[in-house]
Each structure stands twice: as C-alpha cells, then as structure tokens.
Amino acid sequence: MIKAIVFDLDGTLVQTEKLKAVSYATAVQRLRGLPEPDAGAIEAYREIVGAARDVASRHIVEKLGLENDLRPLMSQYGAGEPWEVLTAMRMDIYSGIVADPKVLRDSQWPHTVDLLRVAGETGCATAVVTMSKRDEALHVLRSLDLEHSLDLIVTAEDVKRGKPDPEMYLLAAQRLGVLPQECVVLEDSVNGVRAALAAGTNVVAVATPFTSAGLHASQIVEDAWTVHEPDKVAETVRRRIEQAQQDG
C-alpha cells in the first residue's frame, strides 16, 4: 500500500534545473569573457544534475578545464579550492535569477497541483526531498505557495550523504513514519532516481527535456515508471498507487 508521495524539488516540481544550468553557463561566460553563456557548462551540468553542489561544481571545473581561470580569484572569494569560486559565482547569479517569485511561478511544472490533489484524494502524506539548502528550498516553495501543502521537507543539511546515496529517502520515510516501499517518489535526474531506487521506494522517473537523455543512457529507467509527458505524471502516480493497493 502506498502511504506517501515524495517529490524531488528541482526539475520535478519546478523547472529550476535549467535555471541552475544557465547560472553555471553565465558564470563561465563572465570568467572567460565570452560573448554569451557557455553551452559546454550547460552540458556538463546536465551530466551531473541532481548531485550535491560541490560535486556539480567539481565536475564542471574538471570538464571545462577551469582550474587555471579560477585559481587567481580564490583570495577574492575566500575560497580554499577553485571549485568553491565557481560555486560562489554561480550562486550569486542564480540568487539574482530566482529572487523574483514570478520567475519561479513561471517555471512551475503544471502537474504539481494535480499531484497534490492525488495525494489528498488517496490520503497520502507528502514530502519534498531536495539537494538544495533549506533556505533555498523554502524560498522556492513559498514562491509557489506550496510550503503548507507538504508534511515534510528534507534538504541537504539533513544528511551526510547526498543523492545518489539513498540516505535522504530513507530519512524521509522514517520521519513520515512509513516504510520506503510505501512511498512513491518522483524524480527527474539520474542521481535522484538512483537514490530513490536504492532506498527501496517506488519510483516515477519524470523524463524532462533537460534530463531525458541522461535517464535513458543510464538505463535505470528500466527499474522505474517513466513519464515523458508532464500532463501524464499525475495519472501515472495514481495508477501506481492503485496497483500497489491491488498487489497488497
């Protein structure tokens, strides 16, 4: 029986993954004096989407060979490592992008309200599990007027190991008072789907334009219910809940 619906935040409830990718691309643009945001940074972020902030920044630094560009700026940013400079630059840009709640509302996936309706109709608890910091997650949820629609919010500060480790989802199930197998998890990234599968949850992989290629290349979608059309997400979750009830 399904007792909880658990959402990833970035890319699943709201299309912030593409905004984060743009912030990295803009940081590289400024770093290297390019005429436009760096497309390579967007592709590098696409490869690591859903990972912890330090993992993502390290990956982009290595992928684009940014270390020599970043080292001279370490003292200016009070950074101990080059990737920390990129993170600081990216965060400044991203914070400016999402400071306006309208930007977030315009980036909200249309299926979000439908999913919360499904949760209410089926008596499921609801939670958000995100690798974002708590203040960032709360800003997004409050901008979308969703904070009070959730029973639990788990963020990066709550765990020692981020996605793809299952710790976040195991913690969410524990705090909700349910078993992992009693949760349906919605994720859009390879790292997120891996984390949810490793925790033993029922996973609906939302293959967004930003993450679809990575999900299929990883082949982990074979172990999850995969949805390519946003307007089919709520229907898929409802069918997964109904199937679990029949199996139970």
Q: What is the pLDDT of residues 148-184, one digit of tens each?
A: 999 999 999 999 999 999 999 999 999 999 999 999 9
Mean pLDDT rounded to a whole number for the chain = 91
Q: In terms of pLDDT, which residue wins out, 248 or 212? A: 212
Same domain for 54 and 172, yes or no, is no
Query: In this structure, are 50 and 143 located in the same domain?
Result: no
- Do 88 and 113 belong to one domain? no
Per-residue pLDDT, 223 = 79
Predicted pLDDT of residue 227 = 87
The CATH number of residue 203's host domain is: 3.40.50.1000
Per-residue CA distances from 179 to 37, 183, 225, 240 (Å): 44, 7, 19, 16
Least confident of 12-16, 33-37, 75-79, 153-157: 12-16
Residue 42 structural domain: 17-100
Higher pLDDT, 114 or 40: 40
When pLDDT is cut at 50, 70 and 90, the band that residue 248 belongs to is low
pLDDT value of position 120? 87
Is 0.95 surpassed by the pTM of this model? no
pLDDT of residue 108: 87
Higher pLDDT, 106 or 223: 106
Number of domains in the chain: 2
Among 100, 121, 153, give the residue marking a domain's end: 100
Last residue of a domain, one of 100, 123, 140: 100
pLDDT for residue 57: 97
Pair 137, 219 in one domain: yes
Confidence of residue 64 (pLDDT cuts 50, 70, 90): very high
* Half-sphere exposure for 161 (CA within 13 Å, toward CB): 10
Q: Is the same domain home to 215 and 135?
A: yes
**Where among 75, 100, 125 does a domain terminate?**
100
List C-alpha distances in Å: 164 to 50, 51, 195, 235.
8, 7, 4, 26
Q: If you ran DSSP here, which 8-state letter would residue 125 be given?
A: E
Residues 10 and 24 in one domain: no
